[in-house]
Amino acid sequence: MTDETPIQQQMESLRTEIERHNRLYYIDAAPEITDREYDRLLRELEELENQYPEFSTPTSPTRRVGGAPLDRFESVRHTVPMMSLSNTYSKEELAEFDRRIRKLIPEEIFTYILEPKIDGVAISLRYENGVLVRAVTRGDGATGDDVTANIKTINSIPLRLSDMMPPTVLEVRGEIYMDTAGFSKLNESRQEAGLEPFANPRNACAGSLKLLDPREVAKRPLDAIFYATGELDGIAFETHEQMLLSLKNYGLRITPKYWLNGKIDDVLDRLDELENMRHEFPFEMDGGVIKVNERRLYDELGFTAKSPRWAVAYKYEPEQAETTLHAISIQVGRTGVLTPVAELEPVQLAGTTVKRATLHNEDEIRRKDIKVGDRVIIEKAGEIIPAVVKVVTEKRTGTEQVFEMPNECPVCGSEVEKRAGEVALRCTNLQCPAQVKNWLTHFASRGAMDINGLGESLVEQLVDSGLVKNPAELYSLQKVEVLGLERMGDKSAENLLTGIEASKHRPFEKVLFGLGIRHIGKGAASILANEFKDIDTLMKADLAQLENIYDIGPIVAQSVVEYFLNPETRAVIEQLREAGVNFEQVDTGGSSELEGLTFVLTGTLETMTRDEAGDKIKKRGGKVSGSVSQKTSYLVAGANAGSKLEKAESLGVTILTEQQLMDLLGSDEQLEDKQTGQLGFGF
């Protein structure tokens, strides 16, 4: 028996439960619960940790992203050097590798194991007594950078090994990589933000690991696969396969596929099979790694200066093709960024016909000296649209043309600009049809005007049909017009128009957020709404006034001023105002029936989430707290309420059921009636 308190035991069982689900999700690909249920467990643990910080542990699953940004990474010496592999490029070279080994150990019978070679960044993780203590990059093989805080943000990497009796020291080595689909998305959003895209997933991964702020790293789609060991204490493995399977048991991800073969000829066949699967893996694979499976032979085979003799890499040809670049067209993205695209002579690449390749931006065209009419090499680098790697300059005829980026937007003809710190050119016209879709989708989104039924595809249709050119025009849509759209029945047209009508009454801060002013997120919108109370006062504010507001920085201030200086946006605001959209802060503090009361919410509520219930309480002047104390007025207990309920009972705090809470709150409609009445707008 332990002398842990019931709370401690509850927290520990939550931690193991969360770790178990992590494993089911990331390692076994067989989740048992939904993301929502998982989040609920995590939140429950978080709440307990807030309440009982003395019982929180550094390996808690809530501790993946934390700590302040670093100034620099510490250098750490590898206890066992991190070697690399010698490369082979032909099957003859591999046969030679086999002959060399057989010569060194002529008496031995052994097998080979073949795994994919992952094109990422090598890492060494050190677990002491089952706890992740350090993650170090390869560096020069002898010393690397301590990137522990960054590595901890990768959800599939266990902070504790799942084993009751873990070894004293387990150093595992593997590859951090960026998931190919995630890479494409990341590059897309970098491009939209006017930033330089990464050349390939490996660069994106390396760049991510070098970030000093783990919170930024957490946003990058990184993952890891482990395939080797460093220092070991208290554990030994007979074969490589056995090692892989134990790593998997500990909760570490290993290659989804490997092959065991006694003869090199069979390995060569499997290499082809592996190459054919190239695009089925979520990571970029640049070859296969062939290793002797029997670890007892490693010492005998030994090392050359930089690589082991018992393993070798076989590199596949990169997936490239040569073709002619006929023209360069310009695409205008949803944020107005102009992207040059190569129009190619169609060519077969990795099983698909390629007609276009991205050129990213003007700098890239200059750097690679790409001209119209060039013969170019294109490559797939995890992106849906391939990239141009280089020009085949030997094949130039002298007729190739230098390409100039346009001075105006090819979609609307407005001027283009380059913002400070960006590589991209942007269209300056917010009403450019290419940008309007983005603006409308944002305007209608849940955090902004929350217009039910107005999703991306409908926005697409509204803009393409010319019905809507800015958010204000939504309010003059007629039912007959909406009915003319694809798949639009009477009922959905009705719903859409009701949704649009209802959005006129959204709080000022939501309207402000919906305007899509650059750099104004929900938080800044709310601050500005509270500070200025109405749009006219805000429009008159100057830079100094804005910068003076706590939490509003110079970038936001500048952006607000610029936005309201633009006559086009001013016109849209006027149109919105005429349509009846709310541009004033209504003092929601007006209702004060729960003033002075503090609520704690616990357990699972049936009709709403705890957040929603919290909002309703706050709207009526009440306070919501995370922990029960003498000051708690009411504890609202949902299903499976735990420690907080016990504590409330022991302190004699009044306990409410969900129904009792709802009775206390009344409906939102009742509240709104009351508020308008109070403010004198009632009938």
C-alpha 356/C-alpha 679 separation (Å) is 60
Bridge partner residues of 142 (DSSP)? none
Q: Which stretch binds ligand IVH (CB under 6 A): 67-75, 116-124, 263-271, 555-563?
A: 116-124
Q: Applying CB under 6 A, does 115 fall inside the site for ligand IVH?
A: yes
C-alpha 286/C-alpha 258 separation (Å) is 15
β strands within 333-477, DSSP E: 337-349, 352-358, 371-372, 375-379, 387-391, 401-402, 416-418, 425-427
Residues with Cβ < 8 Å from 537, sequence gap 6 or more? Answer: none
Q: Which stretch binds ligand IVH (CB under 6 A): 114-122, 213-221, 451-459, 594-602?
A: 114-122
The minimum distance between CB 291 and ligand IVH, in angstroms, equals 7
Residue 599 tokens read as 């609520």
Q: Applying CB under 6 A, does 228 fall inside the site for ligand IVH?
A: yes
* First-to-final CA distance of the chain: 69
Binds ligand IVH by CB under 6 A, chosen from 146, 175, 241, 531: 175
Catalytic residue check, 117 = yes
C-alpha 558/C-alpha 531 separation (Å) is 17
Tokens 């007609």 correspond to 355
Q: Applying CB under 6 A, does 117 fall inside the site for ligand IVH?
A: yes
Residue 652 CA: distances (Å) to CA of 182, 623, 635? 51, 19, 10
Q: Which stretch binds ligand IVH (CB under 6 A): 100-108, 110-118, 190-198, 605-613?
A: 110-118
Other C-beta atoms closer than 10 Å to the C-beta of 456 total 12
Q: Applying CB under 6 A, does 114 fall inside the site for ligand IVH?
A: no
| 3-state SS, residue 169 | strand
Nearer to ligand IVH, 239 or 435 (CB): 239
Q: Applying CB under 6 A, does 289 fall inside the site for ligand IVH?
A: yes
- Of 592, 651, 648, 650, nearest to 623 by C-alpha is 592
Q: Which of residues 629-648 bind ligand IVH (CB under 6 A)?
A: none
Inter-residue contact 635 to 602 (CB < 8 Å): yes
Binds ligand IVH by CB under 6 A, chosen from 14, 48, 76, 118: 118
C-alpha 389/C-alpha 374 separation (Å) is 12
- Of 258, 307, 262, 264, nearest to 91 by C-alpha is 264
Stretch 375-414: interaction string toward ligand IVH, x if CB under 6 A: ----------------------------------------
Count of residues binding ligand IVH (CB under 6 A)? 14
Q: Which stretch binds ligand IVH (CB under 6 A): 179-187, 308-316, 477-485, 487-495?
A: 308-316
C-alpha 650/C-alpha 622 separation (Å) is 23
Stretch 63-92: interaction string toward ligand IVH, x if CB under 6 A: --------------------xxx-------
- Of 35, 59, 34, nearest to 49 by C-alpha is 59
The minimum distance between CB 518 and ligand IVH, in angstroms, equals 40
Q: Applying CB under 6 A, does 313 fall inside the site for ligand IVH?
A: yes
Strand order in the sheet with 634-637: 623-625, 598-602, 634-637, 654-656
The minimum distance between CB 273 and ligand IVH, in angstroms, equals 16
The minimum distance between CB 256 and ligand IVH, in angstroms, equals 12
The minimum distance between CB 225 and ligand IVH, in angstroms, equals 8
Stretch 188-227: interaction string toward ligand IVH, x if CB under 6 A: ---------------------------------------x
Nearest 5°: the CA angle 377, 380, 385 is 100
Q: Applying CB under 6 A, does 122 fall inside the site for ligand IVH?
A: yes
Q: Which stretch binds ligand IVH (CB under 6 A): 66-74, 305-313, 507-515, 540-548?
A: 305-313
Choosing from 117, 152, 371, 644, the catalytic residue is 117
Residues catalogued as catalytic: 117
Which parts of this chain interact with ligand IVH (CB under 6 A)? 83-85, 115, 117-118, 122, 175, 227-228, 289, 308, 311, 313
